[in-house]
Structure 1
Amino acid sequence: MTPSDSIVTAPAERRDLEGRNGRPVIDARNVAVDFKVEGGTVRAVRDVSFQLYRGETVAIVGESGSGKSVTARTIMGLLSKRAKTGPRSRIDYDGENVLAFSERRRRKLRGDRISMIFQEPMSSLNPVYTVGTQIVEAIRVHRRMSRKAATAEALELLRHVRIPDPEARLNQYPHQLSGGQRQRVMIAMALANKPDVLIADEPTTALDVTVQAQILNLIRALQQEMGMAVILITHDLTVVRQFSDYVYVMSQGEVKEHNTTEALFADPVHPYTRRLLASEPRGAANPLPAGSPVILEGKDVRVAFTLRRGGFFKPQYSELLAVNDLSISLRRHETLGLVGESGSGKTTFGQALIRLIDADAGKITFDGEPIESRNRAEMRPLRSRMQIVFQDPFSSLNPRMSIGQIIEEGLVVNGLGENRRERIDRVREALSAAGLPTDILSRFPHEFSGGQRQRIAIARAVALEPEFILLDEPTSALDLSVQAQIIDLLRKLQDERGLSYLFISHDLKVVRALCHRVVVMQHGRIVEEGPVEDVLTRPKTPYTERLVRAAFDVAA
């Protein structure tokens, strides 16, 4: 923590109390939460105070590890057994301290008067029960009602949250619904008993921008209709600006600053808040050198998958055309963005271009050489020249291997480096290029933050000295400030090494900051392409216009 970060700018009382009538529905004072861990205690939340009034939305923002979700779980009584609240902690709901309630009374409050929507609905919904069964349970736990009446109410709730064909959805399982539909089911369950307070913990992080806009607009419409108070936990500042009335900024377990949304964005006081607001992806790609040759080209690329339905004895087969005769070209030193909603085919297209999956038709050339018909052995000499960085670095880094082993493995497989000493030198050089210390070779992936793990994944790719890197959603799981660091790193590596990137993303802010050109995909087809500034400021198709509006003006 820098000396300036310790500036006291967060009093316990809100700054807009003069215009308020009545008491808050939630008044939290001096909330502190410690976790006992091996070797000591982690102070996750330290003396946090905030107030929430009926009918308003309060946003709690901050980076991963700031304590915002722990604060929300303290309100709900969902902390683990290792957690201990401080002796001065107090959370009043309608004037009563819920921290003093018995477990039975907390359980009655939870899901009835105070409800919560979690970040990942697939892990919050039970996969072995139908959607209808789970909503009915949420109703009957808190209200005496027949199963038939509760089922009728569950159907009405699904209509309320605007799920298409709600009668069919009642009998479906969570895995049969899309991410946006699962999140709507979670909202329906949270609203089943008409709560006074709804806590939305990163409710749209895993969703496409258009689905995100739909979910947030739905929550706001239901809030206005039911008079609920909403606590919105997020690190997306566009969402905060559009949907919240008051903002609390958290870092390292403390509230650094709070104010009305308008005042906080107009005149942030604390250095951390200023840093957070300045972390939104900014800048633009450096100009492309004149006469840059084409390094990767795809012509009429087609990828189809065979889907099987029906029983074992009477299976039915159908074809899903994931990539429908697409053509693109990428120049040296260029970053080409590939954008679209989930299921548009962008990742399938990217993987087909570098032959991680086989295309059914089309021509693919890398540095002038046709590669579409090469087998795995014939592709091996090219693998060091084309690399990939995935969305989730934790899944793509072997947890049993040290950082040194993970990065050196690619050098060994591709026969690079005369001996181990030379390979280790190249590993250290790659770590340094990725902005990491060179003394971490013996450490393991779990010892690093998300942003550091993504840098390790980039270092692994860079160690092979490639000419082209496929970047598949490399920043979507990262905080804003870490996103900005990764964007700067990718720009720096491109300038120093002349790299070409195919950047797959649904985050148009990052695309605008990093890419020279952008290709917009929908249902396996290209609907629009061109220079990034032209496409994002003057979209020619309604679909691109909808994507742009959802990314830069969520409320639209």
Structure 2
Amino acid sequence: MTETIDVLTAAPFERRDLAERDGRPVIDARNVAVRFKVEHGTVEAVKDVSFQLYRGETIAIVGESGSGKSVTARCVMGLLSKRATIAPQSRIDYDGKDVLKFSPRERRGLRGNRLAMIFQEPMSSLNPVYTVGTQIIEAIRAHRRMSRRAATERALELLRHVRIPDPELRINQYPHQLSGGQRQRVMIAMALANDPDVLIADEPTTALDVTVQAQILNLIRDLQRELGMAVILITHDLTVVRQFSDYVYVMQYGEVKEHNTTAALFANPLHAYTKRLLSSEPSGAAKPLPDNAPIMLDGRDVKVSFMLKKGGLFRSQFSELVAVDKLSLNLRKHETLGLVGESGSGKTTFGQALIRLLNPDGGEIYFDGIPIHDKDRTQMRPLRSRIQIVFQDPFASLNPRMSIGQIIEEGLVVNGIGENRKDRLDRVVDALNAAGMPGNILSRFPHEFSGGQRQRIAIARAIALEPEFILLDEPTSALDLSVQAQIIELLRKLQDERGLSYLFISHDLKVVRALCHRVVVMQHGRIVEEGPVSEILSNPKTAYTERLVRAAFDVAA
């Protein structure tokens, strides 16, 4: 009964600021419900959702993975799969007309024209075999009668508009030749090609560095003001919501649990779920280390470089790219050391060189006093069970054809750990339990789990070998805030119980502040600043670190 009263008071049928609004909304969604046919029945992904969007404003739809926020957006765009069924009482008015009653041809006329959408991962949205210019031109000519030459000029104008450097060069490049931030700018250019009334941004900055994230969000806001667009921002980053939205809808289990103006919702959340979301921001600090803690990992003057080839087959030119420029770093037992910097700063390359997943071109590396810089792959094998890694995207690092039991047991088999099959399976179950997962999932496959659960499975795979050191490469960047908080607590707990040492690579300084003892800041393959987390984040000494900190804690800066 308490929950019912909570929802009714927190999520009334009409917007709370209705009296302050003039005219009708550009999007007025009422009683939207979507269900999907699945193998054993149906899943109600969205239940009775209503929201309104007015011209020139930004509304945010927030919630954890599986809350239905992206399905709601796709319903507006007409991008649901064939397995989806929209309930007959659902209504989505665009400019006073119910788009759910439009024919497929009429929906296509709206999509990419009056209503546009940018997605979380531009690399999966852009066609890898066409240049970015070809793809922008296609978006323009699909809705406008225009010569190819005029469309090319418009594409160049759009690339300048979204502030892509050297647009005349970039227009003939392929998506893989652009950085993550540049690809997202291309997606925005395509979305803006026909001056839409509504732009839906579905997690547009999740995988981007904090500085690039700030640039993309500020760009969307500037373009919104210039073009008078309305924006629906779908995100799990509450800092972004607070800085960029005017009104917020909070979703859980397919329902709107609360909605209010941004200022009011952050100042006085009413629903228990909203309160939990707001309190899920990474918090706390690492426990102090004993002064006599021995050094676990020691890198001295480590260098990694790559040879880049330019030109054609007969006129090739080679140049050296120094990704890690004679860097030194040490990590003590039970310590968490943060390695931060923008994409391309060399932090992942440095981390992988330190554990010999990459061969360094120079320098010395010692693990627990043992020199490993001169060891080959075979000589490194006895140490592999003591050194583990957890990657950013668990779906890419977990074999989709293997069951969870096989994935975790594989490392035990390879390293000769466990007396027999039963002993190995007991170790697998223990590792899953330690990572907060039940032991009865051994026969299931990675696609059957959420992002947070897959990351727990990846952590279980690492700790099953009982390592002393784990390289954590962006392990929380793609996770919801509440799931992120759970993973941080799990990593703390495992460190306390097992005495683990972590090298934590991240661009999320909030997570670094909550988890790490010290931090090393990298730029262009060099260390620009290092020291205790509290000191570096509260009193940065370099302009670069200051810019990173400002972008992380005050996105609008």
CA distance in 1, matches of 2:427, 2:38: 37
1:424 is matched with which residue?
A: 425
Higher mean C-alpha displacement, 182-191 vs 546-555? 182-191
1:157 is matched with which residue?
A: 158
CA distance in 2, matches of 1:537, 1:189: 39
Could you report, residue by residue, the CA deviation over 1:22-66 in whole angstroms, capped at 9, with x for unpaired residues?
Answer: 111111000111111222111111110000011100000111111
CA apart distance, 1:127: 2.0
Question: TM (normalized to structure 2)?
Answer: 0.97
1:95 is matched with which residue?
A: 96
**What's the secondary structure of 2:82's corresponding residue?**
coil
Higher mean C-alpha displacement, 87-96 vs 163-172? 163-172
Could you report, residue by residue, the CA deviation over 1:226-269 in whole angstroms, capped at 9, with x for unpaired residues?
Answer: 11111101111000000000000011111110000000011111
2:435 is matched with which residue?
A: 434
CA apart distance, 1:140: 2.0
Contact 1:5/1:271, CA 8 A, preserved across alignment: no
CA distance in 1, matches of 2:238, 2:97: 32
CA distance in 2, matches of 1:442, 1:374: 37
CA apart distance, 1:404: 2.1
CA apart distance, 1:6: 7.2
Distance verdict in 2 for CA 1:162–1:53, change over 3 Å: same
CA apart distance, 1:525: 0.4
Query: Which letter maps to 2:447?
Result: H
Query: Which letter maps to 1:72?
Result: A
Distance verdict in 2 for CA 1:2–1:129, change over 3 Å: farther
1:117 aligns with 2:118: yes
Could you report, residue by residue, the CA deviation over 1:530-556 in whole angstroms, capped at 9, with x for unpaired residues?
Answer: 000111111111111111111110000
Distance verdict in 2 for CA 1:444–1:106, change over 3 Å: closer
Contact 2:402/2:445, CA 8 A, preserved across alignment: yes
Query: Which letter maps to 2:234?
Result: I
1:137 is matched with which residue?
A: 138
CA apart distance, 1:99: 0.8
Equivalent residues in 2 for 1:156-555, closer than 5 Å:
156-555=157-556
CA apart distance, 1:423: 2.1
**What's the secondary structure of 2:439's corresponding residue?**
coil
2:108 is matched with which residue?
A: 107
Query: Which letter maps to 1:169?
Result: R
CA distance in 2, matches of 1:149, 1:366: 61
CA distance in 2, matches of 1:401, 1:4: 43
CA apart distance, 1:2: 10
CA apart distance, 1:215: 0.6
Q: How many residues align?
A: 556
Contact 1:528/1:540, CA 8 A, preserved across alignment: yes
CA distance in 2, matches of 1:99, 1:509: 41
Query: Which letter maps to 2:541?
Result: K
CA distance in 2, matches of 1:7, 1:208: 36
**What's the secondary structure of 2:441's corresponding residue?**
coil
Query: Which letter maps to 2:82?
Result: K
CA distance in 2, matches of 1:4, 1:336: 45
Distance verdict in 2 for CA 1:391–1:2, change over 3 Å: farther
Higher mean C-alpha displacement, 2-11 vs 209-218? 2-11
Query: Which letter maps to 2:335?
Result: E
CA apart distance, 1:4: 7.4
1:26 is matched with which residue?
A: 27
CA distance in 1, matches of 2:309, 2:36: 48
Distance verdict in 2 for CA 1:266–1:466, change over 3 Å: same
Contact 2:6/2:270, CA 8 A, preserved across alignment: no
Question: TM (normalized to structure 1)?
Answer: 0.97
Contact 2:30/2:48, CA 8 A, preserved across alignment: yes
**What's the secondary structure of 1:285's corresponding residue?**
coil
Query: Which letter maps to 2:435?
Result: A
Query: Which letter maps to 1:483?
Result: Q
CA distance in 1, matches of 2:468, 2:193: 54
**What's the secondary structure of 1:511's corresponding residue?**
helix
**What's the secondary structure of 1:439's corresponding residue?**
helix
1:69 is matched with which residue?
A: 70
**What's the secondary structure of 1:148's corresponding residue?**
helix
Unpaired runs of at least 5, structure 2: none
Cα root mean square deviation, aligned: 1.5
Query: Which letter maps to 1:389?
Result: V
CA apart distance, 1:378: 1.4
2:85 is matched with which residue?
A: 84
Query: Which letter maps to 1:309?
Result: K
CA apart distance, 1:421: 2.5
Instruction: Give % identity.
Output: 81
Higher mean C-alpha displacement, 244-253 vs 168-177? 168-177
Unpaired runs of at least 5, structure 1: none
**What's the secondary structure of 1:215's corresponding residue?**
helix
